[in-house]
Structure 1
Amino acid sequence: MKQIEDYVKDGWHLQLTVAPSRKGVSYHAWAYEHKEDKAAALVGEGETMESMLRDLQECEKELYPHLVNDGDHIQSNRTKKLPTVFRMGSRPEGMRTK
């Protein structure tokens, strides 16, 4: 399974959020501004770091199978829902506008 540092090495900028939830802790990752202009963003969520990474990897396989390094290149049939913060077009804190 890809780790956070693998996404950075692949050219993504990442914002990670760990927040309390009703079940304990929730993990959220948002990858954005990939070095390839057509790759807009990825999102991963989960109740553990592993489940969040798995979700992030599934999102990458769905949206950008040509960027996946594992040779697996399987695209799932379900549509990944991006979080409201992304659909609204807001940027992570501290990010400059171009």
Structure 2
Amino acid sequence: MITYLLIGAILVAIGFAVHVLKWNMLIAYSNSRPKAKTSKTNSERFRKILGFYGYFTGVVFLLLALLEYRGLSVPQTPVVSVFIILTMAVMYFAQKDTSEETKK
């Protein structure tokens, strides 16, 4: 339960930092692209996608902590596996979506 609670709180905080506080330093993508190829709209859209993904996954982990607090046992291996696969998918599609927007 503590693990899910900590992960959920950290993910919500990262989502807030990226989306609202605009801490681009937390996004490796923003540091790896040349300034000439990065538009303001592109980075804002990418930041919004990652911020909302942080909120979503954080809330899911907090709900898992609540389920464990209520007595339901939730195995960590499938949860972490799904989280890793979802994260890779979101990063791939967000990068692809924002790079296509730059080409227009």
Instruction: Bin the TM-score by the shorter chain.
Output: under 0.3
From the CA coordinates, give the structure whose radius of gyration is larger. Answer: 2
Higher strand share: 1
Q: Using structure 2 for the length normalisation, give the TM-score.
A: 0.26
- With a CA cutoff of 8 Å and minimum separation of 6, indicate the structure with the bigger relative contact order: 2
Q: Using structure 1 for the length normalisation, give the TM-score.
A: 0.27
Higher helix share: 2
